[in-house]
């Protein structure tokens, strides 16, 4: 019997590296279905595991604990350890065994801390490796075949460790000229062209990823009303669910992004998100709004049943954390550095992304 608490449909951020009393009181009250962690939440290995243990302890239903641990600049754990190579570096290396190692290592280090869902792999196609649309360095391929081959290798290895995966950013950011962290990208692209490229990838993964993140992008050929995909029943219910047959968990990208904030009111966004077919609404930064988000959807009644059932199915498969020790962390972290050397060579492996050590005000998803 799925929980009937609407709070289960929220994926929320956490303010800092420790669980303060006000946040703990809020989370106990609304019982969010999951928590997403960022650089602001990470100081030391011991601190991170304690934070996650505390979040689990205050949850009546085992929560999803997730993070963006892709590789390269989108690697939250590089703040306390080594930085894995990014998808493009792994792609260009051309060795599937190294991509498989990356998936396996990523899953094992996440479980040491208690994460049970990783927000990757990125399934976008890199039509232009230099495009300024937030995807630079994050794509496993330049065409459908390459993305499928290399992302599948990572996805299979990650899931084999017990960590769930998330395909993103449906239905595809690749043609966007704007970064949705700041503004809503609107592209003129036919459904036929999308089917030939972006959607061909997502169709392949509809049976093999545990969850799907819906991007904030409006595509003229997919929704005549020009709504963001994340708020579009045509794209989520009709295309992803019915047409592609996706049966996993569907979540929005961060609803605190400019792509949504600049165009929709808060309560309206929450209701539209559920009505569109999302199972989880992501609120990463305005954490104080989590209670308002629950209140906004609380009156939707039977409209919540489908999402609550999807959440219960997902949670029935969550893997518990593995035992924590600094020795275990350091051992896996050393494997990450060895992987960097294998992919980049010793000289480049010693260098880090330009964002190294910085907690950017806009962290990519």
Give the pLDDT confidence of 61-120 residue by residue, as tens digits. 999 999 999 999 999 999 999 999 999 999 999 999 999 999 999 999 999 999 999 999
Element spanning 166, H or E: strand 166-170
Distance between first and last Cα of the chain: 32
Q: Residue 3 has which token pair?
A: 């929980």
Contact status, residue 70 vs residue 87, Cβ threshold 8 Å: yes
Is 70 exceeded by the pLDDT of residue 196?
yes
- 315-320 long-range contacts, CB within 8 A, separation 24+: 315/33, 315/61, 315/62, 315/64, 317/164, 317/210, 318/62, 318/64, 318/116, 318/117, 318/164, 319/111, 319/116, 319/162, 319/163, 320/116
Write the DSSP string, 92-143.
Answer: HHT-HHHHHHHHHHHHHHHHHHT--EE---B----S-TT-SSS-TT--S-SS
Predicted local confidence at residue 365, as pLDDT = 62
Residue-averaged pLDDT of the chain: 92
146-160, 171-185, 249-263, 275-289: which range is least confident on average?
Answer: 171-185
Listed in sequence order, the residues at least 6 apart from 320 whose beta carbon sits closer than 8 Å to its beta carbon are: 116
Matching residue, tokens 């806009």: 362
What is the set of domains in the chain, with CATH numbers? 7-349 (3.20.20.300)
25 burial class (0-12, 13-18, 19+ CB within 10 angstroms)?
A: exposed
pLDDT digits (tens, 9 = 90+) for 197-221: 999 999 999 999 999 999 988 899 9
């Amino acid at each position: 019997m799925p929980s009937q608490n609407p709070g289960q449909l929220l994926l929320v951020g956490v303010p800092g590296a420790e669980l303060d009393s006000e946040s703990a009181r809020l989370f106990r009250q609304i019982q969010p279905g999951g928590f997403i962690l960022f650089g602001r939440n990470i100081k030391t290995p011991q601190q991170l595991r304690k934070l996650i243990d505390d979040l689990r302890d205050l949850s009546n239903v085992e929560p999803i604990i997730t993070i963006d641990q892709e590789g390269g600049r989108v690697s939250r754990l590089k703040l306390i350890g080594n930085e894995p190579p990014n998808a493009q570096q792994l792609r260009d290396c051309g060795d599937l065994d190294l991509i498989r190692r990356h998936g396996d290592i990523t899953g094992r280090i996440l479980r040491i801390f208690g994460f049970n869902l990783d927000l990757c792999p990125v399934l976008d196609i890199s039509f232009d490796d230099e495009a300024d649309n937030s995807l630079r360095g994050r794509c496993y391929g330049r065409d459908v075949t390459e993305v499928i081959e290399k992302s599948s290798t990572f996805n299979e290895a990650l899931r084999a460790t017990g960590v769930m995966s998330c395909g993103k950013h449906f239905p595809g950011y690749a043609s966007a000229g704007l970064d949705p962290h700041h503004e809503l990208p609107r592209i003129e692209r036919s459904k036929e062209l999308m089917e030939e490229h972006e959607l061909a990838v997502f169709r392949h993964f509809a049976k093999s990823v545990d969850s799907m993140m819906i991007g904030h992008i409006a595509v003229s050929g997919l929704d005549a009303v020009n709504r963001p995909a994340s708020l579009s029943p045509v794209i989520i219910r009709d295309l992803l669910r019915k047409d592609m047959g996706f049966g996993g968990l569907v979540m929005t990208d961060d609803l605190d992004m400019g792509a949504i904030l600049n165009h929709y009111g808060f309560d309206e966004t929450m209701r539209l998100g559920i009505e569109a077919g999302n199972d989880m609404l992501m609120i990463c930064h305005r954490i104080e709004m989590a209670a308002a988000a629950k209140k906004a959807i609380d009156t939707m009644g039977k409209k919540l049943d489908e999402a609550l059932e999807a959440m219960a199915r997902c949670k029935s498969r969550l893997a518990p954390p593995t035992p924590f020790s600094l020795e275990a962390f350091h051992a896996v972290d050393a494997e990450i550095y060895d992987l960097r050397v294998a992919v980049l060579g010793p000289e480049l492996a010693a260098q880090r992304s330009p964002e190294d050590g910085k907690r950017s005000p806009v962290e990519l998803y």
